[in-house]
Amino acid sequence: MRIHLKRAGIAILLALSTAAVAHAQGKHRFFDRMDANTDGYLSTTEIQKQFPKFTAEMFKKADTNGDGKLSVEEWQTFAKAKRAEMKGA
């Protein structure tokens, strides 16, 4: 039961974060707020500041090119997959 609640909580936060992503001159405000060092990518640490339950395993799954950082596209793809997973669960 606890695991399902944690998963649901993470999925809800991810869904809200993606819904909150707004385009402003080609930028993504929510992503940019998480990107504390403004390098254009997210690290595990940056994501965990917003989503403390975001795990290394989740990061590895989201990091499709394996470069150790998440681009806007990787983040959006991961969040979209989490939303779909929750709808199917």
Q: Is the whole-model pTM more than 0.75?
A: no
Let me know: does 74 contact 63? Beta carbons within 8 Å: yes
pLDDT tens digits, 68-86: 999 999 999 999 998 898 8
For residue 22, the model assigns a pLDDT of 40
CB burial readout 70-83, b (16+ within 10 A) else e: bbbebbbebbeebb
Query: Distances in Å between the alpha carbon of 66 and those of 32, 60, 62, 80?
Result: 21, 7, 9, 19
The whole-angstrom separation of Cα 69 and Cα 48 is 13
